[in-house]
Amino acid sequence: MKIVVLERNSVGTDIDVSAFERFGEVEYYANTYRPEDVAERTADADIIIANKAPMNRQTLTGSKKVRYIGEFATGYDNIDLEYCKERGIRVCNVVNYSTAMVAQTTITLALALTMKLIHYDNYVKSGEYASQERFSNFDVPFNELDGKTWGIVGMGNIGSRVAKVASALGCRVITASVTGRKRDTGYEQVGKETLLKESDIISLHCPLTDLSRRYIDAGAFGMMKKTAILINVARGPVVDNLALYEALRDGKIAAAGLDVLEKEPLSKDDPLGLIKDSGKLIITPHLAWASVEARTRCVEENVLNLEAFLEGRSRCVVC
């Protein structure tokens, strides 16, 4: 049996992936982006382990032996599920492996923006603090989270974890569902418009679907408080980048913290790159999932998924 790991480096070269080798011959590729490379590298594969590489009719038609695709991720929008069903190819992802880290990143971004931490760190390191006479400086106003309303879109594992932390910090938590379906989450569920109008902080934790694509657009920014902070750790296209840039430029909202973008990495023509004020915008390079612990779990869960498949058991099956 031949196993092809198309994007070995996507989990980091510091993480051991050799456990796959107990199942058969393994061929590793650091990264695989181009459809033609996917087709060539999987031509005689039985098992594919991927992350963002396109898995569809174009790339897999010639890969006649493939019967399993494992994802180094929770999201699987790179995979054509209908085609895989047609071919009888099992697809498995990993879930909950990065919940703690993504929740931690969400809270970190909210705290950094609320407290203007980067401004004050720069103030001290610039030497300005050492040259002043007073013991304290608070030239840029900052705020507490206690008593604020935190709106959460998407109450899966990550959204639920964020809700617990936000509540512990004294926030009133409200939630909205992209689909509009009612769920008993233990927190107040409201409509989208209410969440946009009432929230001081909005964090996004929903999957990317036709319903969630550009869920936060120019119209949404028009309903938000001018003091609101937006946090996106879901998928980039859930937010309209141009509309966000205009909202920040025009003061429609106070700030945003992003770990995901419509196009990754950040393209040179993306208007968000024009905003250099870290008190208004913090962008991290899609790292919220990538703690050492989370990446280790990602590999371990993939190994367990493959083991289950080979033994005829269902585990984390997408299709």
Residues marked active site are found at 235, 264, 286
The C-alpha atoms of residue 209 and residue 211 are separated, in whole angstroms, by: 5
User: What is the residue-wise DSSP string for the chain?
Assistant: -EEEETTGGGG-TTS--GGGGGSSEEEE-S---SHHHHHHHTTT-SEEEESSS-BSHHHHTT-TT--EEEESSS--TTB-HHHHHHHT-EEE---SSSHHHHHHHHHHHHHHHHHTHHHHHHHHHTTHHHH-SSS----S----STT-EEEEE--SHHHHHHHHHHHHTTPEEEEE-SS------SSEE--HHHHHHH-SEEEE-PPP-TTTTT-B-HHHHHHS-TT-EEEE-S-GGGB-HHHHHHHHHTTSSSEEEES--SSSSPPTT-GGGG---TTTEEE--S-TT--HHHHHHHHHHHHHHHHHHHTT---SB--
- Give 35's Cβ-side CA count (13 Å radius): 11
Burial of 203 (0-12, 13-18, 19+ CB in 10 A): buried
Q: Could you please report the per-residue DSSP string of 221-241? A: HHHS-TT-EEEE-S-GGGB-H
Number of residues that this document lists for the chain: 319
